[in-house]
Copies of this chain bind each other. A is one copy, B any other.
């Protein structure tokens, strides 16, 4: 880290910062310029957060981080790509994984119909919400454990592993009992209590990027999971909040490529939430694959106009089948044999 002193900093103030840097377990390297002095805090075993607090010391203009604050998720630590095994499906292993299914599990029939169809079209995993984070308390909140059972049944029939969101620490055990991968939704990306709990679960975690999270914050949220003991983490870019209102979010595909540079973890893209518009799901799916995403998660509903959530961004069953063909996925005609 670098402590950038003010032009007006006195010799005493500079001395004080040097002392504090040493106290915190670093070496201090002073570079005196014509205009100002900067002081490098060098070493790997010091207490970084205490150096950051020096921003509040007299004579200090700024404290600048030089190295990344994340460790276990970093590609510097581990150069080969992590492959996460979700009940037999490899995420990050080179193949593009397609996760499809309804936003919410609304009924046994709705889910089974969707599961059979997306399987036939070539999907490799099933999604469906049992617990739904809804902006309004008056909207459909999900069927809970009943939905988990329907998901299990659909998985047993189709062979597709299940991913579903867990919103509450209290539900982690229930969800972990049924799901093959547990999703942390975008609004919970920095629900650190939930992350700490999920770090102890023996199931892979799908960690969505928060709508206002920087790439750095997102990777640090993943760091909570790895630091807590769960190394099976899949990231998912799902769009960020910007001033643009023509789309629901702005899908930040450069972040997908950037995260693959910075981290060894696999990264998916969610073109459904990322755009909010059915007509853009196809183009952005292709773009996400082209940019290097390890997979897609796509909302599919038998009758989007009657969906209890996210209808406008859901593909219908033939729409998903067409998209899979365009993506070069061979439809699987014999579901049983899959």
Interface residues of A, Cβ cutoff 8 Å to B: 2, 4, 7, 20, 29, 31-36, 38, 40, 42-44, 48-50, 52-58, 60, 62, 64, 66-67, 69-71, 76, 133-140, 167-171, 187-188, 190-194, 210-212, 214-217, 220, 223-224, 227-228, 240-247, 250-258, 261, 274-275, 277-280, 283-284, 286-292, 304-309, 311-312, 314
B223 touches A244 (CB 8 A): no
A96 to chain B, nearest CB (A): 13
| Chain B: CB-nearest residue to A55 | B312
Cα of A49 to Cα of B240 in the assembled complex, Å: 24
By the criterion CB–CB under 8 Å, are B246 and A215 in contact? yes
Question: Hey, which chain B residues are within 8 Å of A258, CB to CB?
Answer: 246-247, 277, 280
Give bound CA distance, A140 to B50, whole Å: 10
Knowing A135-B220, A190-B135, A190-B187, the reply to whether A308 touches B36 (Cβ < 8 A) is: no
A94 smallest CB distance to B (angstroms): 16
Given contacts A135-B220, A254-B274, 19 further A-B contacts (CB under 8 A): A2-B38, A7-B76, A29-B31, A31-B31, A32-B42, A34-B42, A34-B44, A53-B306, A55-B312, A56-B307, A70-B136, A170-B170, A214-B243, A242-B252, A250-B252, A251-B253, A257-B280, A261-B279, A286-B290
Q: Can you offer 17 A-B residue contacts whose CB atoms are under 8 A?
A: A2-B38, A7-B76, A53-B307, A54-B311, A58-B305, A133-B192, A134-B192, A135-B220, A136-B223, A171-B193, A210-B212, A212-B240, A242-B243, A242-B252, A257-B280, A257-B284, A258-B277
Question: CA–CA, A171 to B169, complex, Å?
Answer: 11
Number of copies of this protein chain within its complex: 4
Please list the 6 inter-chain residue pairs (A to B) with the smallest Cβ-Cβ separation, ordered nearest first.
A212-B212, A168-B193, A56-B304, A53-B311, A290-B290, A56-B311
> Main SS of the interface on chain A?
mixed
Chain B residues with Cβ under 8 A from A2's Cβ? 2, 38, 64
Residues of B within 8 A of A32 (CB): 42
Minimum CB–CB distance for A303 against chain B, Å: 8
